[in-house]
């Protein structure tokens, strides 16, 4: 049995959809940002907080948990700057409570959702896991703190773990059954698609004076099912005892500017966007593109979906 913490969320629910094909799954989620309706059939669901040791103890007592996959976190950079307490409480303190209870129950396999935000403002074109981490906001810092804690737990308690640093998760399940649904929505692709569906008056492009080819920010968009597949490979490796402490980037290795993403959305949907050019959004680095060479070498992971297909799946989901 695998415990998926935050399995009702965007990335967690896509992972669960893949994981139930091979494993028994229990999801712990408090429903704060996720949707219980997104959880695949056949999964046991516990509604509660991961920072609550009583809830965790009851799960670990009831189910024979082999590994924990942890997706539950707050993940908005701007909000983390305004309300760091929320981020250190929910992302750091609650995760520590989870790890503490895992150690108590001798559960030694852990997969942790981390982020490109741990790199801050990188000076390299292609970010590898060796690129120095200097997070510039509480969100990125909160994730890096847990990464550091995991390393110490590996040394002291023999906790085996895989950290996955996501770049820009995007797209929806190919079935059209689940997809990205945040409230409020802040992410680029869903915002553009909502506009093209007539649900928003216009879109804003944040910043046109970055040092990039067209002046807008460049990001590496990675399909949520490709992310899910990477988790499955990491889990298999952990359960087979092949990995101890590992960190992997997950991206496509190809960057797209905000303007290019808008163009691709227009192409995929055949609709025209009304664009407002706005000032920079605080905390946005000009360019974040991943090298995912390490996870390819270790697990043979390669992303399947490119930007066009990412947007096609998102459009299918949004237009339903
Ligand atoms: N962005 C934008 N307009 C929007 C939302 C996002 O121009 O309405 C830009 C944002 O500044 C960033 C990129 O799109 O450069 C991706 O932002 P998103 O919030 O999707 O992901 P993040 O990179 O923050 O994880």
Q: What is the average per-residue pLDDT within 282-304?
A: 95
Q: By the 8 A CB rule, do 80 and 117 touch?
A: no
DSSP string, 214-264: TSS-EE-EEEHHHHHHHHHHHHHHHHTT--SEEEEEES-S--EEHHHHHHH
Least confident residue range of 11-20, 41-50, 75-84: 75-84
**66 CB near ligand 1 (under 6 Å):** no
> Domain spanning 2-169+221-250: which CATH class is it, in words?
alpha beta
Report domain extents, the chain. Answer: 2-169+221-250, 173-220+253-319
Distance of CA 115 from the midpoint of ligand 1 (Å)? 15
pLDDT confidence of residue 183: 85
For the chain, how many residues are written?
320
Residue with tokens 């292609």: 126
User: Ligand 1 centre and the CA of 188: distance in Å?
Assistant: 5
- Asked if 264 and 307 count as a contact pair (C-beta separation under 8 A), the reply is yes
Numbers of helices and strands, H then E, in the chain: 11, 14
Query: Which CATH fold would you assign to the domain 173-220+253-319?
Result: UDP-galactose 4-epimerase; domain 1 (3.90.25)
Any ligand 1 atom below 6 A from CB of 117 = no
pLDDT tens string 168-177: 999 999 999 9
pLDDT score recorded for residue 283: 80
Predicted pLDDT at 112: 98
Residues 108-155 pLDDT 10s: 999 999 999 999 999 899 999 999 999 999 999 999 999 999 999 999
Residue nearest atom 20 of ligand 1, based on CA coordinates: 187
Burial of 125 (C-beta count, 10 Å sphere; 0-12/13-18/19+): exposed
3 state DSSP class of 38: helix
Q: What CA–CA distance (Å, rounded) separates 139 from 88?
A: 8
Q: Is the pTM of this model over 0.75?
A: yes
Tell how far the Cα of 177 is from the centroid of ligand 1, in angstroms: 25
């Amino acid at each position: 049995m695998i415990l998926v913490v935050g399995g009702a969320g965007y990335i967690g629910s896509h992972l669960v959809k893949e994981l139930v094909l091979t494993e028994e799954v229990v999801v712990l989620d408090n429903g704060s940002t996720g949707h219980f309706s997104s959880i695949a059939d056949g999964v046991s669901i516990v509604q509660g907080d991961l920072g609550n040791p009583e809830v965790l103890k009851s799960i670990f007592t009831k189910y024979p948990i082999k590994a924990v996959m942890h997706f539950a976190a707050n993940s908005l950079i701007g909000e983390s700057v305004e309300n760091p307490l929320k981020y250190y409480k929910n992302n750091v303190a609650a995760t520590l409570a989870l790890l503490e209870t895992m150690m108590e129950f001798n559960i030694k396999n852990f997969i942790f959702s981390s982020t490109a935000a741990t790199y801050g403002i990188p000076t390299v074109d292609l970010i590898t896991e060796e690129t120095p981490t200097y997070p510039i906001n509480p969100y990125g810092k909160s994730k890096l703190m847990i990464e550091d804690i995991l390393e110490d737990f590996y040394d002291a308690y023999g906790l085996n773990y895989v950290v996955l640093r996501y770049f820009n998760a995007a797209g929806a399940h190919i079935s059209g059954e689940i997809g990205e649904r945040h409230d409020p929505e802040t992410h680029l692709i869903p915002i553009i698609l909502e506009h093209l569906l007539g649900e928003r008056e216009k879109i804003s492009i944040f910043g046109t004076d970055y040092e990039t080819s067209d002046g807008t920010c460049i990001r590496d968009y990675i399909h949520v099912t490709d992310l899910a597949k990477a988790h499955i490979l990491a889990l298999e490796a952990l359960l087979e005892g092949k990995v101890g402490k590992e960190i992997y980037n997950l991206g496509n290795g190809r960057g797209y500017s905000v303007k290019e993403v808008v163009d691709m959305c227009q192409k995929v949907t055949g609709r025209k966007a009304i664009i407002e050019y706005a000032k920079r959004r605080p905390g946005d680095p000009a360019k974040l593109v991943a090298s995912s060479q390490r996870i390819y070498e270790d697990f043979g992971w390669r992303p399947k979906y490119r930007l066009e297909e990412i947007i096609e799946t998102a459009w299918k989901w949004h237009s339903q």
